[in-house]
Amino acid sequence: MSDPTLLILASLADGDKHGYAMLEDIQRFASVRLGPGTLYGAITRLEQRGWIRAVRWADDRRQPYALTAEGRRHLQAQLSELDQLVKAGLRRLRHA
Partner 1 sequence: MKRIARSLIRLYPRQWRVRYGREFAALLEDAELTWRDLADMIAGALCIRQGEYYVMDHPAASPRILDFKDRDIPHGFEMESAIEYTRGDGQPAIVRQFYREIDLGDSYVMISHSARDSEPAQTIVVSGVKGEVSGDFRSDPTEMLVLNPDGSVRHTQQTVNTWLKGEVFREKARASYHSGLEAGLSLDQIFKKWTQNPGLPAS
Among 2, 31, 92, 94, binds partner 1 (CB under 8 A): 2
Among 4, 8, 12, 51, binds partner 1 (CB under 8 A): 4
3 binds partner 1 (CB under 8 A): yes
20 binds partner 1 (CB under 8 A): yes
Give DSSP secondary structure letters for 11-69. Answer: HHTTS-B-HHHHHHHHHHHH-----HHHHHHHHHHHHHTTSEEE---S-SSS--EEE-H
Task: Give residues in contact with partner 1 (CB under 8 A).
Answer: 2-5, 18-20, 23, 32-45, 60-63
